[in-house]
Amino acid sequence: MPLEPPPGTPFPSGAPYWYWLGGRPALDFVNTRRERWRGNIECLRSPDDLTVWLGQAGLLSPAARREARASRAQLAAARELREAIDAGVRAAVAAEPPAAGTLAVVDGWLGAAVARPALIAGPDGHARLAEREAGNAVAAAFAALALDAARMLGRPPERERIRICGSEECSARFYDRSPAARRRWCSMALCGNVAKARRHRARAASA
* pLDDT over 50 (residue 147): yes
Q: 70 vs 1, 62, 73, 108, 139, CA distance in Å? A: 32, 15, 8, 19, 9
Whole-prediction pTM:
0.86
Q: Measuring CA to CA, which residue among 6, 25, 28, 8 is closest to residue 186?
A: 28
- Rounded Cα distance between 167 and 98, Å, is 24
- Rounded Cα distance between 70 and 50, Å, is 7
Q: Measuring CA to CA, which residue among 100, 4, 96, 101 is closest to residue 43?
A: 4
* pLDDT over 80 (residue 130): yes
Predicted confidence at residue 188, as pLDDT, reads 79
Predicted confidence at residue 206, as pLDDT, reads 59
The mean pLDDT value of the chain amounts to: 89
- Give the distance from CA 27 to its chain's centroid: 3
Predicted confidence at residue 1, as pLDDT, reads 42
